[in-house]
Protein backbone atom coordinates (compact mmCIF):
# COMPACT_ATOMS: atom_id res chain seq x y z
CA UNK A 1 0.00 0.00 0.00
CA UNK A 2 1.12 3.53 -0.75
CA UNK A 3 0.14 6.51 1.46
CA UNK A 4 -1.72 9.15 -0.55
CA UNK A 5 -2.92 11.46 2.27
CA UNK A 6 -2.71 11.86 6.03
CA UNK A 7 -4.33 14.04 8.66
CA UNK A 8 -4.07 14.80 12.34
CA UNK A 9 -7.47 14.98 13.98
CA UNK A 10 -8.44 16.43 17.31
CA UNK A 11 -10.42 14.17 19.64
CA UNK A 12 -13.37 16.56 19.33
CA UNK A 13 -14.51 19.23 16.85
CA UNK A 14 -12.16 22.18 16.40
CA UNK A 15 -12.99 25.38 18.25
CA UNK A 16 -15.93 27.10 16.53
CA UNK A 17 -16.77 24.02 14.45
CA UNK A 18 -19.78 21.76 14.78
CA UNK A 19 -18.27 18.60 13.23
CA UNK A 20 -14.80 19.30 11.74
CA UNK A 21 -11.90 17.92 13.79
CA UNK A 22 -8.99 18.35 11.33
CA UNK A 23 -7.58 20.74 8.78
CA UNK A 24 -8.17 20.05 5.09
CA UNK A 25 -6.31 17.28 3.31
CA UNK A 26 -6.01 16.34 -0.36
CA UNK A 27 -5.07 13.09 -2.06
CA UNK A 28 -1.56 13.08 -3.54
CA UNK A 29 -2.66 10.71 -6.29
CA UNK A 30 -5.57 8.54 -7.26
CA UNK A 31 -6.02 5.94 -9.94
CA UNK A 32 -9.62 5.20 -9.06
CA UNK A 33 -8.81 2.21 -6.89
CA UNK A 34 -10.11 1.71 -3.37
CA UNK A 35 -8.53 3.50 -0.39
CA UNK A 36 -7.68 1.73 2.86
CA UNK A 37 -7.65 3.63 6.16
CA UNK A 38 -4.71 3.27 8.54
CA UNK A 39 -4.87 4.82 11.95
CA UNK A 40 -5.16 4.18 15.64
CA UNK A 41 -6.24 0.73 16.63
CA UNK A 42 -9.28 0.38 18.78
CA UNK A 43 -12.71 1.88 18.66
CA UNK A 44 -11.96 5.35 17.21
CA UNK A 45 -14.40 6.09 14.40
CA UNK A 46 -14.76 9.23 12.27
CA UNK A 47 -16.36 10.65 9.15
CA UNK A 48 -14.61 11.99 6.05
CA UNK A 49 -16.35 15.06 4.63
CA UNK A 50 -15.75 17.27 1.59
CA UNK A 51 -15.11 20.98 2.19
CA UNK A 52 -17.24 22.74 -0.44
CA UNK A 53 -16.34 26.22 0.80
CA UNK A 54 -18.14 29.04 2.56
CA UNK A 55 -21.89 28.82 2.73
CA UNK A 56 -22.20 25.30 1.38
CA UNK A 57 -23.31 22.11 3.06
CA UNK A 58 -20.34 19.77 3.24
CA UNK A 59 -21.27 16.24 2.13
CA UNK A 60 -20.08 13.31 4.24
CA UNK A 61 -18.47 10.79 1.89
CA UNK A 62 -17.47 8.12 4.42
CA UNK A 63 -19.33 7.59 7.69
CA UNK A 64 -17.99 6.17 10.95
CA UNK A 65 -14.89 4.55 9.45
CA UNK A 66 -11.87 3.35 11.36
CA UNK A 67 -8.53 1.66 10.79
CA UNK A 68 -8.78 -1.16 8.27
CA UNK A 69 -11.92 0.10 6.56
CA UNK A 70 -11.92 0.46 2.77
CA UNK A 71 -13.44 3.37 0.85
CA UNK A 72 -14.57 2.28 -2.64
CA UNK A 73 -12.66 3.59 -5.65
CA UNK A 74 -13.84 6.91 -7.08
CA UNK A 75 -15.43 8.22 -3.86
CA UNK A 76 -12.43 10.46 -3.01
CA UNK A 77 -10.71 12.40 -5.79
CA UNK A 78 -7.49 14.36 -6.35
CA UNK A 79 -7.82 18.15 -6.12
CA UNK A 80 -10.68 18.12 -3.60
CA UNK A 81 -10.44 19.29 0.02
CA UNK A 82 -11.51 16.73 2.63
CA UNK A 83 -11.46 16.75 6.42
CA UNK A 84 -12.05 14.48 9.39
CA UNK A 85 -15.30 15.04 11.29
CA UNK A 86 -17.34 13.64 14.17
CA UNK A 87 -14.63 11.58 15.91
CA UNK A 88 -16.02 9.02 18.35
CA UNK A 89 -14.23 7.25 21.22
CA UNK A 90 -11.06 9.39 20.90
CA UNK A 91 -9.37 10.59 24.08
CA UNK A 92 -6.50 12.41 22.35
CA UNK A 93 -5.39 13.64 18.93
CA UNK A 94 -4.91 10.88 16.37
CA UNK A 95 -3.39 10.42 12.91
CA UNK A 96 -5.08 8.74 9.98
CA UNK A 97 -3.43 7.70 6.72
CA UNK A 98 -5.24 7.02 3.44
CA UNK A 99 -3.49 4.29 1.44
CA UNK A 100 -3.95 3.13 -2.12
Q: Which CATH architecture has domain 3-99?
A: Sandwich (2.60)
| 14-41 per-position pLDDT tens digit | 999 999 999 999 999 877 889 999 998 7
Q: Are 21 and 80 in contact, with CB atoms under 8 Å apart?
A: no
| 62-97 per-position pLDDT tens digit | 999 999 999 999 999 999 999 999 999 999 999 999
Instruction: With residue 62 as reference, give the H or E element that holds it.
Output: strand 60-65
Amino acid sequence: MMPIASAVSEAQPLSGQENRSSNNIQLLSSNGSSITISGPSGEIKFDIAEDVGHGGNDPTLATQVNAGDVIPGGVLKVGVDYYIANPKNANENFVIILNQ
